[in-house]
């Protein structure tokens, strides 16, 4: 991904095996990681049961917040593809009970349609 991409707010896909090793202790029984994306130190992890937002805080990143969002709580979402001049793809997710969406940006190399497919698969169950 590169530091500049991270500073600009872009996220890139991460190897699932690495994420499984690091985050196995927060997964429920029979829960599996489907996709994972990293933004500098923060992560967002799509499992077969929920979306997990990982926010590493402070200078050392030792303090970590895990925000778990069951797919059934997601009311709707949108994607915006990258263009010729706009190099970022964008994902917005609305959670029941909140008016402002969670917004994430991805670099152009990410297949935003695949990400949309993962969300749609679990939300539409």
Nearest Cα residue to 37 out of 68, 1, 67, 69: 1
110/90: higher pLDDT:
90
Q: Is it the case that residue 9 has pLDDT exceeding 60?
A: no
Q: Residue 4's pLDDT is what?
A: 39
Tokens of residue 113, six digits: 């349609």
38/100: higher pLDDT:
100
64/9: higher pLDDT:
64
21/60: higher pLDDT:
21
3/94: higher pLDDT:
94
Please state the rounded mean pLDDT for residues 44-61.
89
Q: Which residues pair with 43 in a beta bridge?
A: 38, 54
Q: Residue 6's pLDDT is what?
A: 45
pLDDT tens-place string over residues 57-69: 888 778 999 999 9
What are the phi and psi torsion angles at 77 (to 5°)?
-150, 160
Please state the rounded mean pLDDT for residues 92-110.
86
Tokens of residue 108, six digits: 């152009």
């Amino acid at each position: 991904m590169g530091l500049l991409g991270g500073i600009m707010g872009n996220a890139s896909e991460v190897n699932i095996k690495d994420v499984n090793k690091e985050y196995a202790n927060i997964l429920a029984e029979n829960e599996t990681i489907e996709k994972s994306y990293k933004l500098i130190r923060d992560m967002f992890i799509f499992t077969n049961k929920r979306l997990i937002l990982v926010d590493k805080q402070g200078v050392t990143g030792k303090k970590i917040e895990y925000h778990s969002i069951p797919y059934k709580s997601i009311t709707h979402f949108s994607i915006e593809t990258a263009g010729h001049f706009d190099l970022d793809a964008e994902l917005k997710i609305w959670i029941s009970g909140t008016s402002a969406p969670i917004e994430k940006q991805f670099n152009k190399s990410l297949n935003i349609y695949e990400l949309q497919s993962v969300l749609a698969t679990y939300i539409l169950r």
